[in-house]
Structure 1
Amino acid sequence: MQLNAMMLGGFLFFSISIGGAVALFVSRLFQHTTQGLSLLCGGFLVGLLVNDILPSSLKMYDSFGIILGVIIGYLLFLILHKSFHSTITLKPSLYLLAIAMLLHTIPLALTVGNLLGNATFGITITTSVILHHLPEGFALTIALLSQGERLWKLFLCFSGFSIFFSLFVWIGHFTELSNQGQSMLMGVSIALIATTSISEFILHNIRHVPKRSFLTFILMGYLLSYVFHIMV
């Protein structure tokens, strides 16, 4: 089967939707409690960084580029965090996480685009796209539910995510971003995910739940992330 950017975008939508469905099931166990879901999401994102994103990034990309990207990402977090918090209608944690996930997707999409012409990688690419984004779907759904948003916004988020991915697969088919550039993008993504998970999802709720519940929610989120890591 000859793959193209639109088909891969569809596979990605399917993948993150499965992750979202798992998140909806888990959220029912917590009865949609805002603080519990936020801490669960924070623990999950920390686990995603520790178990998956950081190790794979350090193996695949340039260390200096990642460090530079982390610095840029942290500065970007400070700017966006201040901007979002100055507007009551915006949910800073959700928007910052969405931006981080989009940036995290760009290097993979460009790499996939470069391999589209090679039929040998068809099954490998499809499997990678389907499995790699299960955790992203889970994290985005838990984040959205913790902010009290409606599910139709989740559909728009997933659709936009898939279109964005397809666009950069198409770009990657015709152009190639340097390893240094991809490393910086990964660094920015890592910084935004780390600062958002710790600042917005964990520290923001530290005073709203008992210490035992606080640690339990974070640990459960981390363990869920580890389960995803083993699965994919």
Structure 2
Amino acid sequence: MSTLVLGGLLFLSVNLGAGIAWLVAKLFGKSNEGLALLCGGFLVGLLVLDIIPSAIQTYKSTGISIGILIGFLFLIFVNKFLFSSEQHSSSVYLLIIALFIHTIPLSLTIGNLLGNSSFVLTISTSTILHHIPEGFALTSIFLAQGQKIIGLFLSFIALSVCFCLFIWIGHHISLGIRAQSILLGISIGLIALTSLKEFILHNIRKVSLMESAIFVLTGYLFSVVFHVMF
């Protein structure tokens, strides 16, 4: 299976996630704070149920820890020097960066297996299912912050291009397990801190405590559904 076909499958999967997020947004009306809280709960669930267990099982814990620290320092730098506290749209960019980085280890692994025909079906299925939650999360926060949909569409295209690029790199160049561990750790750190700080803590005081709990718990339950189904 070619790299371009796999990139196309990723683009379709994130758009499927976007469609699900759009339907959910319709259910919650125009509650932007609610959508942000839901996205935060969803991302926390995604980390707890999928990303962190997979990372611990596959990669070196030392590299992951170093990556999380780098992600934390990067977030401090971004918030202090690149964006003021009023520019909460920075959370969109941080999430996009985190998901781009999160795609790299998977892309490299697929690149290494690309020549093995016995893995074609497994790779195709994994590519489609693995990125539906990413499309859901990105779309939820774009809608919550009133960002232009063209930006979301361009992000999906860029994510697909990044995916193709690192599949090609993985097919021709071997990147050590330690380097992949650090990249995944950076992704985990950025997703975790962005979810808690930008999506949950920033919005939790804008609605009642009961509503906040319901939105966050609903987002987490959505991640459970994704985990079971996909």
TM-score normalised over the length of structure 1: 0.96
Count, aligned residues? 230
Match of 2:143 among 145, 154, 157: 145
Secondary structure of the residue that 1:205 maps to in structure 2? coil
Q: Give the superposition deviation at 1:89.
A: 6.6
Unmatched 5+ stretches in structure 1: none
Calculate the aligned-residue CA RMSD, in Å: 1.2
Q: Which residue of the partner structure matches residue 158 of structure 1?
A: 156
Secondary structure of the residue that 2:188 maps to in structure 1? helix
Q: Which residue of the partner structure matches residue 191 of structure 1?
A: 189
Is 1:46 aligned to residue 64 of structure 2?
A: no
Deviations 1:103-157 (A, max 9, x none): 0000000000011111111000000000000100000000111110122221111
4+ long deviations beyond 6 Å: 87-90
Secondary structure of the residue that 2:140 maps to in structure 1? helix
Q: Which residue of the partner structure matches residue 13 of structure 1?
A: 11
Contact 2:79 2:85 in 1 (8 A): no
Q: Give the superposition deviation at 1:87.
A: 8.8
Unmatched 5+ stretches in structure 2: none
Deviations 1:170-220 (A, max 9, x none): 111101110000000010000000000000000001210000000000000
Contact 1:84 1:90 in 2 (8 A): no
Q: Which residue of the partner structure matches residue 175 of structure 1?
A: 173
* Worse overlay, 36-45 or 152-161: 152-161
Q: Which residue of the partner structure matches residue 68 of structure 2?
A: 70
Cα 1:84–1:42 change in 2 (3 A) is farther
Secondary structure of the residue that 1:209 maps to in structure 2? coil
Secondary structure of the residue that 2:202 maps to in structure 1? helix
Contact 1:102 1:161 in 2 (8 A): yes
Q: Which residue of the partner structure matches residue 218 of structure 2?
A: 220
Match of 1:201 among 199, 202, 205: 199
Identity of aligned residues (%): 52
Whole-angstrom CA distance in 1 between matches of 2:201 and 2:53:
25
AA of the residue aligned to 1:197: S
Whole-angstrom CA distance in 2 between matches of 1:32 and 1:112:
40
